[in-house]
Chains A and B, each alone.
Chain A
Amino acid sequence: MKAIKYSGLGIFLMGFGIFTFAIFSGYFNFTEQELDNYISEKGYKSERLKEELVKSIVTDKKLSIFEFSSCVRAALETSNKYHDALISKYDSEKNWAKKGEEFQYKISSKPHTLSFEIAKKAGKGFFKDQPTLAWWLTFGLGIFGALLFILPNVILLGKPGIKNDGIYHESATNRGFIAWLVLMYLVVFYLLLYFMPDYVVNWTFIFDPISNFLNGGDASQWFVYGFLYCTIMLVMGARMYIKYRHNKYQIVRTTSVLFFQIVFAFLIPEIMTSLHMPGYDFKSAFPLDYDFFFEWNIKSLQNSGAIGVFILVWGIILTLIIVPVMVYFFGKRWYCSWVCGCGGLAETLGDPYRQHSDKSLNSWKLERWIIHSVLLFSILMTVVTLYCYFSGTSSFLGIKSQWIKDTYSFLIGAWFAGVIGTGFYPIFGNRVWCRFGCPLAAYLGFVQRFKSRFRITTNGGQCISCGNCSTYCEQGIDVRAYAQKGENIVRSSCVGCGICSAVCPRGVLKLENGPENGRINPTEILLGNDVDLMQLLNNK
């Protein structure tokens, strides 16, 4: 069994290595004809851009993606500078007609985005030519190896029950060397994905056939990410099923997040795209879905006929009615640990790291400051955006709509939710984003804290203060602090993953939905002691 497990690890690392190596493989160049086709297809009018590109990427040399990218970015920069210089020249000459004409030659694409687009067409080599084989060598080997590594646990882990032996002895799960390596890999991965997609263009080649099959177009980096996301959740979901096979709540919950990720977040939007509809994730609620009210989205929905209007209305109802009403009945867990994609990744890939969330009082204070600031930020951004959209102006309250959207997308959308939110899993725990950053979680938290039937019930006086519940709380809640006082846990940040209840050795904790009355039950003397004393003090 162990041999199978470790050969699985070897196979996984091989697939993983080939996947990583893919970045450096293949070569990129254009013939003049190909460049002409591309430029006319895009409608770029700048001769200067074309000249620069002809000089650098129309070549027989086999450029690596890094060389290629720097050529394209340099060409773009030179061309834009050239036209900027002309614009200021005409400006000083007060030659308005010429000046106005010059603007059409400028290209507003981000440098790495332009480079990605061209590289997508100019790429050659194994990953471009043999995408199916490449898929098997990367994803195929990775999935097969990971399953070989995980599945023997059915036997190796022994009888069903809590399986936390050795978590604090292993480098990977105790903030050791391996954990830091994983952190660095993830951070670099997200930086490339968000800011330098051209460097990972080879990954997209692997997915062109699948993408064409699903939505009729070539794969973007987001298609790769979506597929990877689902794959990781499925494989690590298998691990969850094995680890918590004694616990029906965990089994059902894991099935639910897998279903919503694969069907709602991945398949439905892809199929909608293939039907020329806007690809929409019907479970993704504003303000987590922060660009829902951006002009381009509203416009695209308005231009998509009945389905567009339906999505617009659904999105608003989802946030204003469905989400809070469900939180009233079931707690925010129905979203955060049963439906949400971010939660889904945290509960599968992130499960081995859940113990790293900081439980100190200070971290709780920090959490409330940050998450509520992000909520305010998202609301402010949306108010500015909508005001500008309806009034046709470009700023509101002195805030430029484009600026605040870009700033939010960059700081919150990319850095906080992606680079930090997932990248920091191995060291700071699997819910960094959900706990400190997610504006939707902040909103649901208010409902859960002040108007909900959900609580974690503490079972009388049975707590022995062992600390398993607090340690394994991914949201950094000091569960024990409540349990050892005989108090129910009613906290806005609780996502209801149910692990505190699972790891409790004395059967003290139960997630349940019940009457609001008596949900919060401060006690001074715990159940089990002198009845008179309990009444005297607890009813004071």
Chain B
Amino acid sequence: MEHIVIIGNGIAGVTAARHIRKKSDKKITIISGESKYFFSRTALMYVYMGHLKFEHTQPYENWFWKKNNIELKEGFVTKIETDKNQLIFSDNSTLLYDKLIIATGSKPNKFGWKGQDLQGVMGLYHKQDLDSLEKYAPNNEVCKRAVIVGGGLIGIELAEMFRSRKIPVTFLVRETSFWNGVLPAQESEMINKHILEHHIDLRLNTNLKEIIADKNGHVKSVIIEGTNEEIPCNIVGLTAGVSPNIDFLKGSAIEINKGVLVNRFLETNIKNVFAIGDCAEQKNPIGNRRPIEAVWYTGRMMGETVAQTICTNKTEYKPGNWFNSAKFLDIEYQTYGWVFSEQNKSENEVYFQWQHASENKCITISYDKNSHEFLGINTFGIRMRHEIFDKWLSEKKSVEHVLEFLADANFDPEFYKVHEAEIVAKFNREMGTNIQIKKKSWKRIFSKV
């Protein structure tokens, strides 16, 4: 029986295993050095905040793996001998495979800051980071202040976590406004304000110079670049992005760059070795996508796809319309299609924007200046239907169409205030159009492409 070995039990590896099992009775082994059972990495924050217990982050009960004949092996792979189809573990044991899927995910970036490896300096990625947090920041007695370096999605989550235990937070963000390499200014500014409302000491345009140790090798303070201001703190969170977790592949025959290089079939340069998820790097980027996409959803999609290829239905990885979501403290964010920030958008991309007068709600709709083709939407504080936007994007609908039928896309809970009329009125005012908003129609919502 063919033996499929998957290194990594995150969403990519586990999705691949589940789909291979659905289609075949191949022997499947999933290897993880982090935790025996699959858990949702994105939910670690809720464990620290006391919303969940760790076991709640595990999407499958523990009997699931045995019942589905998926073997779980705990251990760290240190070396891959592709000529012998063999893995070598940190305890020098070995494992043979017929096909290998590398799904080892990411690790937090460290940019060579002085003091970056001190005790109390950590990323937020692994289960073990949760243990470090409990050790160094159990409460605001032990941890008088936390400093977070890097203003992305993980950074703001870490800030929210510390605030849930009333630990004062200083948040160092390199950019002039939060995440403005990705978000349009309207949204980025709304988030800046919201961060301050949560009593987080947000320092925009600020870089870390170094991290200072006390006499026990534990972090004592950080120094800001330029001003040389010293900020005393007991924990430092490094959240300046992530990069593929593939150091163990150095010296193997598998071709790597920043990540494991794969073609559109998620194959590496070595036959029978695949890479999926955060650690995979597309040789040729797909559409507007980056070559490495460290996103939950793309990990899952690659898992779905590689399982087909392994089960003799050779399938190209063709992700559909881009979508993503996040939550910035209390503000939910969803995006469908492409909305680039002012710094990154092409000349043809223009915005239609609306913002609520008092609440934390706003949207940005991007469309093509000439053709008026709808390109994407960012929505903050208003939930929108994935199916509807996916359809509109695939059918290349115009921005006017999107506004006319915007009520179909609303996904907020019942009785919530709706804002479509206000949004469309603003569009009409700005564009001199006379779009009449259509009432929500179940028939349209359910009509398939």
Give chain A's interface residues, CB within 8 Å of chain B. Answer: 158-162, 164-170, 246-249, 251-252, 360-361, 457, 459-462, 464-468, 470-471, 480-481, 484, 498, 501-503, 505-507, 510-512, 514-515, 517-518, 524-534
Contacts and interface: CB of A to CB of B under 8 A. Distances in A.
A530 B442 contact: no
Interface in B43-61: 43, 46-47, 49-53, 56-59, 61
A470 B57 CA distance: 10
A511 B316 contact: no
Given A460-B385, A462-B325, A506 B334 contact: yes
B414 interface: yes
Given A166-B50, A464-B296, A529-B305, A480 B59 contact: yes
B78 interface: no
Contacts of A170: 50
Nearest to B327: A505
A515 to B, nearest CB: 5
A144 to B, nearest CB: 28
B446 A530 contact: no
A530 B383 contact: no
Contacts of B226: none
B33 interface: no
Nearest to B383: A507
Nearest to A460: B386
B369 interface: no
A160 B331 CA distance: 10
A471 B56 contact: yes
A360 B60 CA distance: 10
5 contacts: A248-B413, A464-B40, A465-B40, A514-B446, A528-B323
B202 to A, nearest CB: 16
Contacts of B387: 459-460, 527
A468 B321 contact: no
A461 B304 CA distance: 13
A515 B42 CA distance: 34
A315 B320 CA distance: 54
Q: Which of A248, A252, A465, A527 has the most CB of B within 10 A?
A: A465
B413 A528 contact: no
Contact of B325 (A248, A361, A507, A532): A507
Given A464-B40, A506-B327, A529 B50 contact: no
B383 A249 contact: no
Contact of A507 (B316, B320, B334): B334
A468 B297 contact: no
B128 interface: no
A466 B386 CA distance: 19
Nearest to B410: A510
Given A510-B413, A524-B22, A527-B386, A467 B52 contact: yes
Contact of A165 (B49, B296, B445): B49
Contacts of A501: 413
Given A161-B329, A511-B414, A531 B320 contact: yes
Given A164-B51, A534-B320, 4 more contacts: A459-B386, A470-B56, A518-B446, A528-B323
A211 B332 CA distance: 50
B113 to A, nearest CB: 30
A162 B160 CA distance: 12
Contact of B411 (A246, A507, A525): A507
Nearest to B64: A361
A84 to B, nearest CB: 57
A475 to B, nearest CB: 16
Contacts of A164: 46, 49-51
B415 A249 contact: yes
Given A466-B40, A507-B332, A529 B319 contact: yes
Given A247-B413, A460-B386, A466-B43, A530 B50 contact: no
Most chain A CB neighbours (cut-off 10 Å) among B296, B321, B413, B446: B413
A459 B332 CA distance: 14
A528 B317 CA distance: 12
A460 B390 contact: yes
Contacts of B51: 162, 164-165, 167-168, 468, 471, 503
Nearest to B57: A467
Contacts of B332: 505-507
Interface string B278-308: 0000000000000000001100110011001
Contacts of B300: 461, 526
A510 B61 contact: no
A518 B304 CA distance: 23
Nearest to A253: B415
A386 B447 CA distance: 50
A188 B323 CA distance: 54
B61 A360 contact: yes
